[in-house]
Amino acid sequence: MTTLDDKILGEKLQYYYSSSEDEESDHEEEENASKTIRDQEALDVELDYSADGSSVNTGPKGVINDWRKYKQLENEQRVEQQKEMERLIKKLSMTCKSHMEEEADRQKQKELQDKIAGK
């Protein structure tokens, strides 16, 4: 007869030994091996510490520091985007002609064609 604890926790199979049980346990170990994480380093949690020795993301000070870093990175990205935009504007303005320049070129082409046709 089993006790209530054995029913709740399950039977204690380590007290019994059977030759057929040994074969099944090898198969069960292979199945369990694929389901469990063997690498303990993956389970270890590393905490980052700031220069003053306090943990980085805890409490109001950590939140304020994170917000400051976020704003600083946001400003740096904005400045970088502005520089990139200015660089593109300069590059494209040098390679593109304005509408007036195109009209002047067309006028010159007409004059050259008239001179060639007039000879």
**pLDDT tens profile 21-52:** 555 555 555 555 555 555 555 555 555 655 66
pLDDT of residue 20: 64
**For range 80-94, the mean pLDDT:** 90
Place of tokens 């002609």: 97
Contact 74, 67 (CB under 8 A): no
pLDDT of residue 7: 74
Query: Taking the CB of residue 65, how many other CB atoms lie within 10 A of it?
Result: 16
pLDDT of residue 28: 57
Q: Which token pair is 52?
A: 């003053």
pLDDT of residue 63: 86
Four-point Cα dihedral 78, 80, 81, 83, nearest 10: 120
Regarding predicted confidence, which is higher, 23 or 87?
A: 87
Place of tokens 């040098």: 94
